[in-house]
Amino acid sequence: MDSIVVTGGAPLAGQIAIAGAKNAALALMPATLLSDEPLTLTNAPRLSDIKTMTQLLQSLGAEVAVLQEGKVLALSSDALTSTRADYEIVRKMRASNLVLGPLLARTGQAVVSLPGGCAIGARPMDIHISALEALGAEIELKDGYLHAVAPGGLKGARVPLRFASVGATENTLMAATLAKGTTVIENAAREPEIVDLAVCLRKMGARIEGEGTATITIEGVDRLGGATHAVVTDRIELGTYMLAPVIAGGWVECLGGRIDLVLAFAEKLDAAGVAIEETDKGLKVSLKGDRPRAVDVVTEPFPGFPTDLQAQMMAMLATAEGTSVLEERIFENRFMHAPELMRMGAHIEVQGGHATVHGVDRLKGAPVMATDLRASVSLILAGLAAEGDTMVNRVYHLDRGYEHVEDKLGAVGARIERVKAQ
Ligand code: EPZ
C-alpha cells in the first residue's frame, strides 16, 4: 500500500484545478440504466470510485467507455444482462446501492447487496427501502442482499423521507422518473449533486421540479432518452484545497471553484480570518493574519456545513488561535482523524458527537494512518504546516476521492511525494 510523505513548512502559491464531483458522478453513472440510449458524462473525475462504479455497471451488462484519460465517460445500457450487484463490489463502495432505483424502474427487479458498515458508521438503507416500497416495490432482505421486485411497475406516490438522505433521494428520484403517475419526495436532500442529477435526468426526458429544495415533484414518463452532461464541480475537493493555504500559508486559486457550492463552509472560513476572493477563474484563498481564529462547526445536510469537510476543518482548527467545538450530526463515528491528529501534537477531546479542539502553535510530523477518504486528506493538510515529515499510510482511501493529490499540492509548492509500496 502506497504512502504519502509531506514535509511541512512550505507556503503555497499557485492554481489548483478542481475536478468534477465524485458524489455527482457516482449518481449520474447509474442513470444510464434508466435508458437504452447513450449517456455521455464530461468533466468526470479520475478516481478509483469511478472505476468501481464502471465495473459494477459493466457487470450488469452496461457498456462504459472511458475516454480522454477518464474525463469523459460514454455509457449505454441497451441490453442489460444482470440485475444483481454483488457484495464483492458493493462492500468496496456504498454508492453501488445507487443501482437499486434505476434497475427497479427499468427492469422491475434488482438484487443488491447491503453495503455493510464502514469506518464512519453502520450506514443502513432503511430510508431507501421505505421510499422505494412507497413507489410499489416489494423488498425483502435475504442473506445480506436486498431482493426487490416491482410487479406491474412502479407507481408514483408521496414519499416522505424521515431524514434527508442523499442516496435515498437519488434512488427515489431516479426510480420515480419511470413510475406511472406523480411522485412527491418530501424532506428530500438538497445537495448540489442532487440538483446535478435532476438536470441530467431532465436532459434525458424526465419531468422533474423542485430539485435543490426539500420537495421534489416527478411526473413519470414511459421512457428516457440519451444525453450529454458535464459533471458539476466537486465542492468537497474545492473546500479541501481552500483549506491548504490557510494551514500552510501563502495562497491558492481554486480553478472552477464556485462560492455558491460552499456558502456555509465559506462563512466559517470568513469567521476564522480567511480571505476568499471570487476571481474570473474561481476562488482565490489566503489567510488575512498569521494564524486562523477558532470557530465552532455543526455538520448538517446541505445547505448546512458539509460532513465531508469536517475532518479537513479540524486539521485547520488544530493550530487555530483559541478553542473550537465541532459537532458531527450526520455520521455516528466520524472523528477517527482526531487520534491521528493527536499523534501530531493536536489537543483534541472527543465525547460522542462532539470534538473540542484547543489550538496549538504548531503540529509535529509523525507517521499517521488514514481510516476513510476525508480523514486521510485531513492528515495531508495537517502535514503541510507540521514540523518535519508526516507519513500518511493506506492512501488507497485517498485515491478514492482525490485526483493525484500529491501532484495538485506539489504544483503549488507543497513538499509532498508518494512512496510506492515495496
Ligand atoms: C452521501 O452518502 C455521500 N456519498 C457521502 O460522502 C456524504 O458524507 C453523505 O452523502 C452525507 O452528505 C455519496 O454521495 C456517494 P446519507 P449517503 O444517505 O448517501 C443515515 C464521501 O466522503 N442513513 O445522506 O450514504 C446514514 O447512516 C462520502 O464522499 C440511514 O440511517 O449519505 C448517515 O448517518 C462519505 N438510513 C446519514 O443518514 C438510510 O437508509 C446520512 O446518510 C440512509 C442513510
CA distance 352 to 328: 9
Strands 39-42 and 227-230 turn out to be: parallel
User: Could you give the number of structural domains in the chain?
Assistant: 2
Range of the domain at 164: 22-230
Q: Is the CB of 128 under 6 A from ligand 1?
A: yes
Q: Cα of 170 to ligand 1 centre, how many Å?
A: 11
Which of 186, 215, 230 finishes a domain?
Answer: 230
**Judgement on whether residues 85 and 144 belong to the same structural domain of the protein:** yes
Which of 187, 209, 230 finishes a domain?
Answer: 230
Instruction: Return the ligand 1 atom nearest residue 123 CA.
Output: 27
Q: Whose CA is nearest to atom 28 of ligand 1?
A: 308
Q: Is the CB of 167 under 6 A from ligand 1?
A: yes
DSSP states of 217-239 as a string?
EEE--S-B--EEEEPPB-HHHHH
Q: Cα of 165 to ligand 1 centre, how many Å?
A: 6
Q: What is the pLDDT of residues 123-153, one digit of tens each?
A: 789 999 999 999 999 999 999 999 999 988 9
**Judgement on whether residues 410 and 348 belong to the same structural domain of the protein:** yes
Q: Is the CB of 370 under 6 A from ligand 1?
A: no
CA distance 422 to 171: 41
Q: What is the pLDDT of residues 369-401, one digit of tens each?
A: 988 889 999 999 999 999 999 999 988 889 889
Pocket test for ligand 1, best of 234, 265, 330 (most atoms within 8 A of CB): 330
Q: Cα of 167 to ligand 1 centre, how many Å?
A: 6
CATH of the domain at 307: 3.65.10.10
**Judgement on whether residues 109 and 166 belong to the same structural domain of the protein:** yes
**Judgement on whether residues 179 and 47 belong to the same structural domain of the protein:** yes
Q: What is the pLDDT of residues 83-130, one digit of tens each?
A: 999 998 888 899 999 999 999 999 999 999 988 767 777 678 999 999
Which of 230, 251, 275 finishes a domain?
Answer: 230
**Judgement on whether residues 212 and 316 belong to the same structural domain of the protein:** no
Closest CA to 161 of 115, 194, 128, 122: 128
Grid coordinates in use for 107? 427492469
Q: Is the CB of 374 under 6 A from ligand 1?
A: yes
**Judgement on whether residues 333 and 193 belong to the same structural domain of the protein:** no
Q: Cα of 120 to ligand 1 centre, how many Å?
A: 10
Pocket test for ligand 1, best of 97, 112, 123 (most atoms within 8 A of CB): 123
Q: What pLDDT, on the 0 to 100 scale, is given for residue 420?
A: 87
Q: Whose CA is nearest to atom 34 of ligand 1?
A: 331
Pocket test for ligand 1, best of 23, 236, 331 (most atoms within 8 A of CB): 23
Q: What is the pLDDT of residues 326-342, one digit of tens each?
A: 999 999 889 999 999 99
* DSSP class of 10: P
Say yes or no to pLDDT of 12 above 70.
yes
Q: What pLDDT, on the 0 to 100 scale, is given for residue 117?
A: 67
Note the residue count of the chain.
Answer: 422
Q: Whose CA is nearest to atom 6 of ligand 1?
A: 308
b/e 165-177 (16+ beta carbons within 10 angstroms → b): bbbbbbbbbbbbb
**Judgement on whether residues 34 and 119 belong to the same structural domain of the protein:** yes
Cis peptide before 38 (omega within 30 of 0): no
**Judgement on whether residues 226 and 310 belong to the same structural domain of the protein:** no
Going across the sheet that includes 297-298, the strands are: 297-298, 323-327, 354-358, 347-351
Q: Whose CA is nearest to atom 44 of ligand 1?
A: 165
Q: What pLDDT, on the 0 to 100 scale, is given for residue 9?
A: 95
Q: Cα of 373 to ligand 1 centre, how many Å?
A: 13
Instruction: Return the ligand 1 atom nearest residue 401 CA.
Output: 29
**Judgement on whether residues 250 and 196 belong to the same structural domain of the protein:** no
Q: Can you give the pTM of this predicted structure?
A: 0.97
**Judgement on whether residues 209 and 267 belong to the same structural domain of the protein:** no
Q: Is the CB of 308 under 6 A from ligand 1?
A: yes
With 0-12 / 13-18 / 19 or more C-beta atoms within 10 angstroms meaning exposed / middle / buried, residue 378 is: buried
Q: Cα of 420 to ligand 1 centre, how many Å?
A: 31
Q: Which of 162-166, 195-199, 393-397 has the lowest mean pLDDT?
A: 393-397
Q: Which residue has the higher pLDDT, 152 or 155?
A: 155
**Judgement on whether residues 209 and 127 belong to the same structural domain of the protein:** yes
Compute the chain's Rg from CA coordinates.
21
Q: Cα of 125 to ligand 1 centre, how many Å?
A: 10
* Residues catalogued as catalytic: 118
**Judgement on whether residues 55 and 198 belong to the same structural domain of the protein:** yes
